[in-house]
């Protein structure tokens, strides 16, 4: 491979590494693809800050989860190997998004790499399951864009096969493909692979709903763009929801919903934040779903209802589609809510077997878009549990996300929710017969 060609193909990958060394297996995978035929690499770079219009600069993509000056930024870089004709057709993706997709288009498998930084910690010295799902959501979304079928995530299912060890810079290989298309429905699948030995770490399947075709310059397309810009301008003109929450000084709560719940007399709600605080995964590793400049979380328990809820306040740094919360962010929030439920209340209050639980499989269905700059309530409930052949308990847990409503607190039997369920997740967690770090298996009395 000529030096100039190699530099061109690796430019995006090296930019994603942000100064860290690019693993040798990345180059090997590119060489292998090149040996299969004369195809042109077409790059899709997820960190799109520089491409956004000035009006959108304050809205940050969820995957770009750190300050621009920081190296602690998770991200993905995708590269599709297309025929010269396809590469020419997809040269200007923005120009093609509003046009009809050519019938002769044939999308090959799309390769990429994902980088997890030290702020993606979940289980001890491991990548958070929600971070893995976010990576899948992003990579499959990029694949969908390269397939010239842009749309929104309808559902995403992730199977966690192996633990993904977390270091200061963990690099994994990503593969995705379009399996089939049925009208506006796009079915995709993908794998996360340890590039050094080929081990499959996780797999996923997803359904994307293609947006309705609109010709560029049409009245409907112009009206839609104008509406989005108006929404962005409205969000940018207001103080950030996190700024408002911090200035209101509602300590020890972090959200208005949590604050109103625990102040309601005889409601049975108590704040579970201290109990839900998990130990650090390792030295210099930060929890992926810890409070940050992106979101803030309250955990609340009702002893009368035996009900655990998590309240999330999403800032403008959680963006996926314009003005909406990113699908991977919602997946991560549901995963975190279930994990916290198992960690804090499942064993001590609901009779479940205690111990460290890891996500085995999770499916999230995106029913209604979730706007930014608002508070939402995730209601967690245990469905059932079984014991597998290895003697491990497997829990089936459901989490539903609703818009928050503190006006429904007239009685202790009310949940602070309103409207339809916006996002629903069903997860299978496996109990490892190991204790949570710093705690015993049987009880939570150490807290």
| Structure tokens given for 303 | 């002893």
Spatial distance between the Cα atoms of 18 and 20, rounded to a whole number of angstroms:
6
CB atoms within 10 A of CB 53: 8
CATH number of 3-210: 3.10.129.10
Spatial distance between the Cα atoms of 192 and 76, rounded to a whole number of angstroms:
12
pLDDT category at 7 given cuts 50, 70, 90 is low
Over residues 364-371, mean pLDDT: 95
Q: Note the pTM of the prediction, 2 decimals.
A: 0.89
Domains 3-210 and 243-431 share a fold: yes
The domain spans of the chain are 3-210, 243-431
Higher-confidence residue: 57 or 23? Answer: 23
Which pLDDT tens digit goes with each residue over 119-147? 888 888 899 999 999 999 999 988 888 88
pLDDT category at 3 given cuts 50, 70, 90 is very low
CA torsion through residues 361, 365, 371, 377, sign = negative
Over residues 94-99, mean pLDDT: 50
Phi, psi of 222 (to 5 degrees): -65, -40
CATH number of 243-431: 3.10.129.10
CB atoms within 10 A of CB 187: 15
pLDDT of residue 160: 97
Specify the 3-state DSSP secondary structure of 93: helix
């Amino acid at each position: 491979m000529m030096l100039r060609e190699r530099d061109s193909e690796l430019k995006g990958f090296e930019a994603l590494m942000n100064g860290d060394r690019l693993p040798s297996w990345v180059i090997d995978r590119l060489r292998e693809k090149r040996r299969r035929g004369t195809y042109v690499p077409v790059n899709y770079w997820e960190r799109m800050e520089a491409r956004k219009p000035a009006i959108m600069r304050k809205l940050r993509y969820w995957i770009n989860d750190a300050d621009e000056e920081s190296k602690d930024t998770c991200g993905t870089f995708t590269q599709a190997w297309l025929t010269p004709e396809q590469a020419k057709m997809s040269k200007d993706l923005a120009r093609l998004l509003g046009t009809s997709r050519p019938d002769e288009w044939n999308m090959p498998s799309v390769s990429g790499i994902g980088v997890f930084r030290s702020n993606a910690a979940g289980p001890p010295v491991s990548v958070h399951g929600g971070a893995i799902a976010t990576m899948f959501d992003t990579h499959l979304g990029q694949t969908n864009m390269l397939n010239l079928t842009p749309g929104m995530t309808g559902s995403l299912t992730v199977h966690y096969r192996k633990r993904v060890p977390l270091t200061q810079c963990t690099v994994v290989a990503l593969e995705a493909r379009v399996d089939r298309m049925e009208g506006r429905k796009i079915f995709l699948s993908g794998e996360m692979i340890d590039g050094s030995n080929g081990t499959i770490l996780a797999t996923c399947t997803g359904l994307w709903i293609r947006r309705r075709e609109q010709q560029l310059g049409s009245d409907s397309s112009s009206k839609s763009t104008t509406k989005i810009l108006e929404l962005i301008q409205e969000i940018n003109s207001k103080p950030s929801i996190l700024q408002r929450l911090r200035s209101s000084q509602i300590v020890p709560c972090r959200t208005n919903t949590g604050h109103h719940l625990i102040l309601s007399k005889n409601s049975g709600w108590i704040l579970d934040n201290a109990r839900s605080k998990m130990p650090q995964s390792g030295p210099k590793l930060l929890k992926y779903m810890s409070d940050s400049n992106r979101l803030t979380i309250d955990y609340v328990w009702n002893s009368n209802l035996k009900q655990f809820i998590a309240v999330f306040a999403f800032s403008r740094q959680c963006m996926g589609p314009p003005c909406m919360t990113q699908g991977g962010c919602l997946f991560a929030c549901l995963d975190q809510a279930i994990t916290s439920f198992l960690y804090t209340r499942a064993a001590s209050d609901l009779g479940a077997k205690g111990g460290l639980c890891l996500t085995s499989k999770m499916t999230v269905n995106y029913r209604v878009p979730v706007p930014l700059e608002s508070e939402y309530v995730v209601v967690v409930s245990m469905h059932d549990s079984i014991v597998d052949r290895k003697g491990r308990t497997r829990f089936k847990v459901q989490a539903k996300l609703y818009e928050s409503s503190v006006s429904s607190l007239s009685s202790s039997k009310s949940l602070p929710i309103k409207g339809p369920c916006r996002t629903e997740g069903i997860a299978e967690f496996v109990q490892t017969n190991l204790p949570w770090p710093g705690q015993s298996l049987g009880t939570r009395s150490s807290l």
